[in-house]
Amino acid sequence: MDANVSMLAKPAVTSWRPGLAPLGWATAAALLALLPTLVDSPAHLNLLILMLMAAQLGVAWNILGGYAGQVSFGHAAFFGIGAYASTLLGLQFGVNAWLGAALGALAAAGLSVAIGWPCFRLKGHYFAMATIAVAEIAQVLFTNWDCAGAAVGLTIPMQQQGLRVLVFASKAPYYYLALGLLLLSLAAAWAIERSRLGYYFRAIKDEPDAARSLGVSLTRYKLVALAISSALAALGGSLYAQKELYIDPGSVLHTGLSIKMALVAILGGVGTLFGPVLGAVALTGIEEGTRAAFGGSGRGTDLIVYGAIIVAIAVFQPNGVVGWWRGWRARRAARSGSPS
């Protein structure tokens, strides 16, 4: 099967668009579906799950930060709300994990609108700074809120297992959940890209005054972008809680998480559909690689890597991996003289 794929990939370089694209997608889908059976080591499967989860969060962030151009460094707040909502609803009221996650997403969307209303009066850097403040406040609140486990955190019991509670002994089900959530998020981004919302978001990012002159209400559509983005981030938070079965403010509400969501999208390519997926694969790989290389003594190495990546992107390739890839293809097409 692998040989087949590589044979087909050769002519694809010149004209892969018309006939071979569906085949490529089908192969990718089959590969993604079979991956857990091909990977033996739980550690490697875990790495794949982390990549899928990071990609999903990047896609969520990208809807607000990439398409609508409103950079948030506080998305951990929405991730945390999702994690806490599904966990608390399950622990306190026996609400099943699916419903808990959905309610968490709704809560995050509602709260984001309440926060976004005043924050969107600020523009650019000032908005980004306000989002940091919001996330810090959320972290302080949950650290001191006894019903939510305060600084000790919450543990999801393993007595009950299965699809209803989304607790599993093995990693494979989480792989499929993470994959499903990523596909859902990508589908949402894809639909937005092609709809009125997508055009409005990009118009607001490019030229807010011109967008207003064309009847686009900045506040309304920024809030729509924020609500969708935070709801998806909250779903990611619920999945994280189910996978780890333990959450505390340090793991689901810390600032590094917000930065990582942004970085995944920025590294891959802001405002592109698959940019965050590429960014997540690269960033998670680097992060886990440094962790394996430096071990416990290397705590914080990933932050050094984040810093280096931010500098490198700003200096060399502001459009991320996707931007670099498009530029490379454009140059290649120009050289060969036939853009096909």
Partner 1 sequence: MSSLLRVENLSKRFGGLVANDDISFEMDRGQIVGLIGPNGAGKTTLFNSIAGFYAPTSGAIWLGAQRISGLAPEQCARAGVGRTFQVARTFGSLSAVENVMVGALLRDRSVARARAHALALLDFVGLAAMAGRAAGTLTISEQRRLAVARALALKPQLLLMDEVMAGLNPSEVHEAVAVVLKIRAQGIACLIVEHVLEGIMPIADRIVVLDYGRKIADGPPADVARDPAVIAAYLGDEHAA
- Contacts to partner 1 by CB under 8 A: 194-196, 199-200, 202-203, 205-207, 209-218, 271
Between 215 and 296, name the residue whose CB sits nearer to partner 1. Answer: 215
Number of helical H runs and strand E runs in the chain: 15, 2
What's the closest the beta carbon of residue 211 comes to partner 1, in angstroms?
7
Q: Are 283 and 307 in contact (CB under 8 A)?
A: no
Between 153 and 271, name the residue whose CB sits nearer to partner 1. Answer: 271
Between 212 and 331, name the residue whose CB sits nearer to partner 1. Answer: 212
Distance set, CA 326 to CA 22, 321, 322 (Å) = 21, 9, 6
Between 272 and 284, name the residue whose CB sits nearer to partner 1. Answer: 272
What's the closest the beta carbon of residue 272 comes to partner 1, in angstroms?
10
Q: Are 65 and 265 in contact (CB under 8 A)?
A: yes
What's the closest the beta carbon of residue 210 comes to partner 1, in angstroms?
4
Between 44 and 212, name the residue whose CB sits nearer to partner 1. Answer: 212
Q: Which of 232, 245, 252, 64 is nearest to 141 (CA)?
A: 252
Between 25 and 117, name the residue whose CB sits nearer to partner 1. Answer: 117
What's the closest the beta carbon of residue 334 comes to partner 1, in angstroms?
14
Burial state string for 13-52 with b = 16 or more CB within 10 A and e = fewer than 16: eeeeeeeeeeeeeebeeeebeebbeebeeeeebbbbbbbb
Distance set, CA 302 to CA 150, 287, 292, 321, 332 (Å) = 27, 5, 11, 19, 35
Distance set, CA 257 to CA 41, 76, 254 (Å) = 26, 6, 6
Phi and psi at 226, nearest 5°, equal -65, -45
What's the closest the beta carbon of residue 66 comes to partner 1, in angstroms?
10
Between 229 and 238, name the residue whose CB sits nearer to partner 1. Answer: 229
What's the closest the beta carbon of residue 196 comes to partner 1, in angstroms?
5
Between 203 and 259, name the residue whose CB sits nearer to partner 1. Answer: 203
What's the closest the beta carbon of residue 287 comes to partner 1, in angstroms?
30
Residue type for position 6: S
Q: What's the Rg (C-alpha) of the chain?
A: 21
DSSP alpha helix (H) spans, 39-171: 42-62, 76-93, 97-119, 125-144
Structure tokens at 237: 């938070």
What's the closest the beta carbon of residue 218 comes to partner 1, in angstroms?
8
What's the closest the beta carbon of residue 320 comes to partner 1, in angstroms?
14
Give the burial class of 7: count Cβ atoms within 10 A of its Cβ; 0-12 exposed, 13-18 middle, 19 or more buried. Answer: exposed
Between 146 and 209, name the residue whose CB sits nearer to partner 1. Answer: 209
Distance set, CA 268 to CA 9, 247, 280, 308 (Å) = 23, 28, 8, 15
First to last CA, the chain: 29
